Amino acid sequence: MASESKPSPDTGRYAARGVSASKGDVHAAVDKLDRGLFPLAFCKIVEDRLTGDPARCVVTHSDGSGTKALLAYLWWKETGDAAVFRGIAQDSIVMNIDDLLCVGVTKGVILSSTINRNARAIPGAILAELIEGTEEVLAMLRAQGFGIASGGGETADVGDLTPTLTVDSTATAILDRAAVVDAARVGPGLAIVGLASFGRASYETSENSGIGSNGLTSARHELLSKYYAEKYPETFDKATPAELAYCGPHRLGDPLPGSTLTVGQALLSPTRTYAPYVIRLLATLGVAKVRGMVHCSGGGQTKCRRFGTGVHFIKDNLFPTPPVFAEIARVSGTEPEEMHKVYNMGHRLEVFLDPADVPAALALAAELGIAARVVGRTEASTRPDRANHVTVIKDGQTLAYA
pLDDT tens digits, one per residue of 283-316: 999 999 999 999 999 999 999 999 999 999 999 9
Is 102 in the same domain as 18? no
Is 189 in the same domain as 49? no
Domain end position, chosen among 138, 160, 179: 179
Residue 129: count of CB within 10 angstroms of its CB? 22
Is 368 in the same domain as 284? yes
Is 140 in the same domain as 209? no
* pLDDT class of 82 with cuts at 50, 70, 90: very high
Is 240 in the same domain as 371? yes
Averaged over 370-383, what is the pLDDT? 98
* pLDDT class of 15 with cuts at 50, 70, 90: confident
How, if at all, do strands 165-176 and 191-196 pair? unpaired
Domain end position, chosen among 179, 195, 217: 179
* pLDDT class of 6 with cuts at 50, 70, 90: very low
For residue 50, the model assigns a pLDDT of 86
User: Which bin fits 93, alpha (ψ -120 to 50), beta or left (φ > 0)?
Assistant: alpha
Is 400 in the same domain as 284? yes
How, if at all, do strands 3-4 and 397-401 pair? parallel
For residue 35, the model assigns a pLDDT of 82
Determine the structural domain holding residue 238 and report its residue range.
Answer: 1-32+181-402
Averaged over 210-217, what is the pLDDT? 96
Number of folded domains in the chain?
Answer: 2
- State the DSSP string of 59-118: EEEEEE-TTHHHHHHHHHHHH--GGGHHHHHHHHHHHHHHHHHTTT--S-EEEEEEEEE-
CATH number at 207 reads: 3.90.650.10
CATH number at 107 reads: 3.30.1330.10
pTM of the model: 0.91
Is 197 in the same domain as 156? no
Averaged over 239-266, what is the pLDDT? 97
Domain end position, chosen among 179, 210, 234: 179
